[in-house]
Structure formats: C-alpha cells, structure tokens
Structure 1
Amino acid sequence: MKKIGLVGGISWTSTLDYYKYINQGINEKMGGLNSAECVIYSLNFADIQNAGWTNAYELIYNACGSLISNDVDCIVLCANTAHLFADKIQSKIDIPIIHIASATAEEIKKQKLHKVGLLGTKFTMEMDFYRNKLKEFNIETVVPSGKKDIEDIQEIVKNELGKGIISKESKLKFIRYANELKERGAEGLILGCTEIPMLIEQADLDFPVFDTTKIHVEKIINFALN
C-alpha cells in the first residue's frame, strides 16, 4: 500500500471526511483490519484566512514539504481552493499531486456532460484555475452571476460550514443557486468546495451532482492500492 500525504485543516471539518472516507474505502476493498497508511499535516485555517488564499502558497508548499520528508508517495490537498497552487507545487516536487478537478472532470466525462455549474468558495468560482482544468477536458463551467450571491456563498462556506454549522436556510439558498445554474444550461453541478456536501447532496436536486470530496477520495484509494 502506498503512503498518502494529506494537507488538511482547510478546513478541519472536511479533513475529517477525507480521513473517514479514505479509511472506509481502503477497508471495504481489503477487509480485515486494514486501513490507510497516511500522514496528515493539518494547517491552522486562520493562518490561511489571514494571509488570504492568493498569498497562502508558502503555507501549503511547506506543508507538502513536511509530508514529503515523511516519505509519502503522493500529496492530497484536502480543499478545492488549495488547488490554486497545485500545478505550481507539482512542478517543484517529484511525487504526484492527486488533482481534485482532474478527478472530477473524469467523472463528468463518464456521464458525457459538456456544461456544468460550479459552487465553491469565491476564489474557486471567480479565479480561472479550476475552470481552466475543466476546460482541458472540454467542459464548460458556469458560476452564479450575481456578486451578492457569490459573497453569500462565501459567507456560508467560511462562517458556517467551516465551523461545522448546518443551517436549513443556507441549504435552501444553495438549492436555489444550483437550480439557477441549471436554468442557465448546466447539465450537472460540481460541489466545488469540500464542505458543501455537508449541506446539499444528490437527493436535493434533479440533475447530476458531483461531490468532489468523494470523487477525490476514490481516486486517492485507487492510487494507494494500485
């Protein structure tokens, strides 16, 4: 089994899901008392917020370096937004980063979809790093068009989901945002923040939903056991 290096704490609530799902998946495939061999470097999310995501490269790169010093076989960034730095970090290290957007794009292509909606942090929705990775797979991406909606999504992700707070009002808002993207031609929806699956899931919508956490985890498990 390969050793997995997880950069977590961005936020800790979704890192819990990564740890649980990876270990459950390894055990389902191997049985007995088997679980994942992994190392977690859990960042202080307040440091990321204080620096601002666009200035957080050194924090994440140093976390990767710490994991590599522990002889991990791959790096996993346990947040969609952290993949802002994935390609740059990959160019500087010799082990693979298992990219969440690439894994998600592969699942979208399996369903033969060409245009999807994206809900995530404001950085994931507004910057081009995520959309460009999907574009490599000939997938078009649409995000909420209203600045107020994007700020509202960011507020919910940061100050509710990032603290493990689940609100019915926020759930209804996210369902509305998702359906608005469908009206604009989205054939599916990417839950492009690893906390969002805490709030909405496939059962809440009538078009395909791509849970990036679970998709990422499946790719990680396959790597570990291949």
Structure 2
Amino acid sequence: MTLDCIALARSMPAWEAGDHISIRATLGESVRRLAGAGAEFFVCPDNTAHLAPEEPGEDLALPGLHLVAVVADRAAREGRRRVGLLGTTYTMDGPLYPREPADRGIAAEVPDVGDRDLINEINFEELVNGVFTEESRREYVRVIEGLAARACDAVALVCTEIPLLVTPEVSPLPTLDSTRLLARATFEVAVGRRDRPTWRGGPTGG
C-alpha cells in the first residue's frame, strides 16, 4: 500500500473557479506517482475530488474505486430509499450523488441552502483543522433531524472528517460513512473478495 498526497491548497483556487480540468490534471499526477510505485489500483477518499476525474481526458494511469459508487452500492444493499447528504457544498450541489443513488432507485436529499452553507463552513473552518465542538455537533444533528423529517431513512456522511464529529451513536439517522465504506471496499479488492476496479476517469456509466 502506497500513499500519495498533493496538498489541497494547491487546488483550492481551481475549486473556487469551477476549473475541474486542472484539478483532474493534479489528481492524474498523483495517480501516475502511485503507478510508478507499483500500485495496481487507486482509491481517493475525497468525495468532492471525484467531480474532477469525471471530466473528459486521457485515462488515468491506474483503475480506481469510485467512492460515490461504493456509497451508493452500500445504500442499495441496505434497502435505503431516500438518503440525506452531508458534505462540502461542491459535493452537495454537484451531480454525482444525485446520479449514482438514482441509478440504484434511491433518492438523494440535501439540506436547504442555509444549512448547506453552514455545513460547508464548519467543514472548512473547523473539521479540516481538527476542531470538533459540541456546538457544531448539535448543528449537524439538527440538520440530520430535518432530513429525517423529509422521510430520509439514512444519512451519507460524504466528507472525510464528518464521521469524526457525527458518530452513529449521536446521529438521528443510520449513517453511511464514506471513508469507512471505501476502506472496506479497498480491503476486499486487495484480498480478492471484490472484483478489481476498471474505472479510469469519466462517468461511471460511460
């Protein structure tokens, strides 16, 4: 197992500008490094980052597990019909989670715009800096309660740090922890319990 990381700060101006093509190039550089180190497939635990590799471009140097598909597959196996989403605004407002669950007959719900902005602010101002407060936990719980009131039967925690703040014990809905689900899927591929991935960028259905 080999890890590679290119600092998020390098890509933030492109995220703010909606320039997914240049972000794809940055992620492609990371995948090439992993291929050079002898890796056989790659995983990226960042939900938001999956928006970029779906842009047109040359195939990535390695096949990879598509995180959003992994989460949607688990929701389908659990029989979920309506799943709430908590993540960055890029993810909550983006096309991936509406598409992947819908392909499996599952509706995806996001909080209203004010709560989306609040969740995003807590993500970037607190969680990524290792700050976890009871006040913010209460806000997340309140937002999840709102999703439950809209008939959601689970909530997908689709930002790496959110499960550190919102544990299954405090969540009003069953949780789908994207980080842990990806880790399990990665292990299953590595030991031969799951098929090797074939995705090398582009939409998963393409």
User: Shorter-normalised TM-score: what interval?
Assistant: 0.7 to 0.9
Q: Separation in 2 of the partners of 1:88 and 1:194?
A: 22
2:177 is the counterpart of 1:183: no
Question: Does 1:41 find its partner at 2:7?
Answer: no
Which of 107, 122, 125 is the equivalent residue of 2:74? Answer: 107
Cα deviation code 1:121-157 (max 9, x no counterpart): 0010001122212222121100012x22111111111
**Matches of 2:172 and 2:78, distance apart in 1:** 15
Q: Identify if the C-alpha distance between structure 1 residues 86 and 130 changes in structure 2 by more than 3 Å, giving closer, same or farther.
A: farther
Q: State the secondary structure of the residue aligned to 2:156.
A: strand
Contact 2:42 2:62 in 1 (8 A): yes
TM value normalised by structure 1: 0.78
Unaligned runs of 5+ in 1: 1-37
Where does residue 132 of structure 1 map in the other structure? 99
Inter-partner Cα distance in structure 1 for 2:13 and 2:69: 28
2:139 paired residue number: 173
Structure 1 residue matching 2:155: 3-state secondary structure: strand
In the other structure, the counterpart of 1:20 is none
Q: Is it true that 1:63 corresponds to 2:30 in the alignment?
A: yes
Q: 1:195 to 1:181 in 2, by over 3 A?
A: same
**Structure 2: 5+ residue stretches without partners:** 193-206
User: Which protein has the bigger strand share?
Assistant: 1
Q: For residue 182 of structure 1, give the secondary structure of its aligned residue in structure 2.
A: helix
**Residue 77 of structure 1: SS of its match in structure 2?**
coil
Q: What is the RMSD of the two structures over their aligned residues, measured on CA atoms?
A: 1.8
Percent identity at matched positions? 25
Q: Which residue of structure 2 aligns with residue 74 of structure 1?
A: 41
Distance 1:171 1:89 in 2: 38
Q: Which has the higher helix share?
A: 1
Corresponding position: 1:160 with 2:160: no
Contact in 2 for aligned 1:90/1:97 (Cα 8 Å): no
Q: What secondary structure is seen at the aligned counterpart in 2 of 1:63?
A: helix
* TM-score of the two chains, using structure 2 as the length reference: 0.85
Runs of 4+ in 1 over 6 A off after TM superposition: none
Q: Distance in 2 between matches of 1:60 and 1:89?
A: 13
8 Å contact kept, 2:156–2:175 = yes
